[in-house]
């Protein structure tokens, strides 16, 4: 059975840091791109960051560029999102999403999602 499970969400002060982890199982992790997508309370979906199957290419939304770093460890079937310089507007449920394709630049379709982990940025 394919599974995607996020962890690491927490309450953090503005300016603080947090590291999210996504553990997957049931499929060949290194063959697929992965992305982080967030949803602020009562709002729509926003793509945050993506990484190719090999980890050689990473992509970030303008809203998090220079603050968030996406990485993956294919030997451990894990995806990470290092979030630095957190702002109140980063408060959201963060979803880990498996892509149907190897690289975002050649197609993207998020065909498997976790249940999300909540990040709250507040003083």
Partner 1 sequence: QSALTQPASVSGSPGQSITISCTGTNSDLGAYNYVSWYQQHPGKAPKLMIYDVRVRPSGVSNRFSGSKSGNTASLTISGLQPEDEADYYCTSYTSRNTVLFGGGTKVTVV
Site map for partner 1, 28-67, x if CB under 8 A? -------x-x------xxxx--x--------xxxx-----
Q: C-alpha 18: how far from its chain's center?
A: 12
Nearer to partner 1, 73 or 100 (CB): 100
Cβ-proximal residues to 15 (8 Å cutoff; 6+ apart), any chain: 85, 86
Cα 37 from Cα 28, distance rounded (Å): 21
Q: How far is CA 110 from CA 7, 17, 68, 102, 121, in A?
A: 19, 26, 20, 11, 26
Nearer to partner 1, 37 or 121 (CB): 37
Which member of 22, 114, 119, 121 binds partner 1 (CB under 8 A)?
A: 114
Q: Does 2 bind partner 1 (CB under 8 A)?
A: no
Binding site for partner 1 (CB under 8 A): 35, 37, 44-47, 50, 59-62, 95, 100, 104-105, 107-111, 113-116
């Amino acid at each position: 059975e394919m599974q995607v499970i996020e962890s690491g969400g927490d309450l953090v002060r503005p300016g603080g840091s947090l590291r999210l982890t996504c553990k997957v199982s049931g499929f060949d992790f290194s063959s697929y791109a992965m992305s982080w997508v967030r949803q602020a309370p009562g709002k729509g979906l926003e793509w945050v960051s993506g990484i190719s199957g090999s980890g050689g290419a990473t992509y970030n939304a303008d809203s998090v560029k220079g603050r968030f770093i996406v990485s993956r460890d294919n030997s451990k079937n894990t995806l990470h999102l290092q979030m630095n310089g957190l702002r109140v507007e980063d408060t959201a449920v963060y979803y880990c999403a498996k892509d149907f394709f190897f690289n975002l630049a050649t197609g993207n379709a998020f065909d498997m999602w976790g249940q999300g982990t909540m990040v709250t940025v507040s003083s």
